[in-house]
A and B are shown apart, each in its own frame.
Chain A
Amino acid sequence: MKSRFIASLLLGTALTLAAGGMASAGDKVVKIGALSDQSGLYSDLGGPGSTLATQMAIEDSGLAGKGWKIDVISGDHQNKPDIGTSIARQWFDVDKVDIIVDVPNSGVALAVNNVVKEKNGVYINSGAATSDLTNAQCSPNTVHWTYDTYMLAHTTGQALVKAGGTSWFFLTADYAFGAALERDTTAVVTANGGKVIGGVKHPLNTSDFSSFLLQAQSSGAKVIGLANAGGDTTNSIKQAAEFGLTKGGQKLAALLLFLTDVKSIGLDIAQGLNFTETFYWDMNDQTRAFSDRFAKRMRNGAPPTMVQAGVYAGLLHYFKALEALGENPHDGVKVVDKMKSIPTEDALFGKGEIQPNGRTIHTAYLFEVKKPSESKGPWDLYKLVGSVPGDQAFTPLDKSACALLKK
């Protein structure tokens, strides 16, 4: 009993517990759980910013003025699938959460995916890269917003081969995510007439890449594909500059790079890097307006990353579906079906749709990091070099391994 007391005290959910208790089929009460990495590797791209994006989505939806009661709780999965699933379970069972958003880290994302399906909730994943969420492990309760490994590999790979990067060498993080990125990129490279002449797998969280970079350098490949993430990517970019790879005419392709990563490397070293994202704060007036409001409320004044933008846009779409239903049926599959039936459109990602496998389709952009001389502000980091329409960037439905498609 004591720990239950502590629980309610700590989470400050005494009120919401009561609210959840009253929730029955069909009302206007919604409870959102923002589950993210609040303190580890991914906390910059998701974390507190995703919770803020959630709050902004609620405010901007204007539902509170229409008699809806919407609450948010946030949690830290600490990048452990165990903790992720137990928080998710508790949210559904005790706190009566309807929807879980964000969840970076593929391992945790897939684990939570199973819980949401079991509890028939709604799951809008924006933070995880794994394309398994809409393929082998797809679920009728899940919408995968923002990006996945297939899209990243496809867009960056195709663009660079077409720009003359015909021979590739991979630096791959030795785990499932890295392997998936390398596999998908290899497919694109060879399909477009390029070839992969070598690669090396490095352990996760390597601090020194010089050995691998030397191997990449002596391979003579035109493009060095970085199939890794976070600190591994930033360190390999930094050290590639040190070893003079880019000066020697080789091009770096970061297959997964976020705004916060580029910021942390600095333009001096990152300039000229090519990579793919689906959202950048400085795209148009609407994204700038949103990002201004967002940055003002962030502790460090940072504009939103694409993951945080995805949380916001995904939730707005969710609210649209709820409004169309007229009430919250507390039935995950029903709400997700409704979400799939309405085309998506918002200020951040533009027009798109949610496919039957749960994949959200929107335009993907190819960016290049600006030279220090081109940058006009602390966050003025990218220039747009190309875009790929959503239906070409993401997995075509006939190639998706999702069981939902074989009804």
Chain B
Amino acid sequence: MMQHLISLTVWVPILFGVLVLLVGKNECLARYMALLGALLGLFFSGVIFIKFNGAASGLQFVEDYTWISNLNINYHLGVDGIAMPFLLLNNFITVLVIIAGWRVITYKVALYNSMFLIMTGLMSGVFGAVDAILFYVFFEAMLIPMYLIIGVWGSTNRVYAAIKFFLYTLLGSLLMLIALIYLYKQSNHSFNIFNYYHTPLTMAAQIFIFIAFFFSFAVKVPMWPVHTWLPDAHPEAPTGGSIVLAAITLKIGGYGFLRFVLPIVPDASRYLAPVMITLSLIAIVYIGFVAIMQRDMKKLVAYSSISHMGFVTLGSFLFIGPILNTWGLQGAIVQMISHGFIAAAMFMCIGVMYDRVHSRNIADYGGVVNKMPIFAAFFMLFAMANSGLPGTSGFVGEFMVIMAAVQTNFIYALIAALAMILGAAFSLWMYKRVIFGEVTNSHVEQMQDVNCLEFIVLLALAIAVIGMGVYPEIFVAKMQTGVRDLVLQVANSKLGV
């Protein structure tokens, strides 16, 4: 049992997803089963989180079985300090998504719940895979449920958004596949990701691999200028879809940079780091300005996600400074987890309002606080967290990244710090227009405050956001060793070997 925890985290939700699909006719049963599956996933990942030894180096909870022997592909799972927090985040968010869709989703209930369960299992697989092809299979398989989620339950422009999302991400991942096969050839026929860490590669090969991986992960993050699918996909996706997309799918891009790009091609990463930093800073500042101008709330949060993810890529590539420091990488991971909570909370809040008024336009709201005081309080907290208020999780990651940036190059830090102001501007200005003021129209007049289910979801997210803001040590302690190993790995040049 204990040595199969990751497998359980991956397969139990998928199994429940299939079961939910089979009992499809009975919607009530489907909902409860979906919840059970999600809770079991959360339980298993919670056990992994508690049992995980933060001081130990290397992989834990390893499972290694032969899968396709003639190609040397193994069913090889395991987590280190970098992957483990994501496993928990992923399963936590899925429980909330299932609860959030409880009353709202009335069309094809079973398919909806089962798609999210399968999705969550696959994403756990992405974070747990040690074999490159296993990783790739989970990574790609995710596209199928997400395509259906956006396309079936999305709003008006959903078909365009779903196809755009699919093709964008597929382009990236197919190039990655070639890179993986190339690495297989170079590493003496192995698909173990950690073997690639020690495979000597020439600079030209490293740059080629970097570009292939870049396409794959930068599209997922998404980095400027390959971000354009996100503002299309988010507004069209249902609330649950947006939450999963923002909270977890984007993190896979960031995770990919840490797991593949930095350790496998350290020299190319070092060489191209200024480019990556520039792109990140453009995302942080430019997309921050774009976010301010949005009229659609979901689009606004989508752009703010891109801006926040800019901190993640920025932190990942700050290792080029004179002093070897772990702040940047740690900050990147903390920022990803924190953004997972905050983005989920923001989309949840917008979803709550959308279910009542059926509009995402900021202009259609105003004076919501008069009708929904409890909701307004929650939304206030999340908007503050989104703008990086100390005491919330949003502050910790950004602060760590900026600290690392100061050590590397003061200009980077200056520009990145600007974004804190922008974050406050777009979050709070939207908040002011939507929540405060007079009740402007009859839709708002009829709004009811949050119901029990919505309250649970918002409360859970609020606890997470504040908890991580006040005591980030819970996560940081677990991942310290993993990050230190990664930094040492990146510092090694592969060219001389």
Q: Do A and B bind each other?
A: no
B contacts, CB < 8 Å to A: none
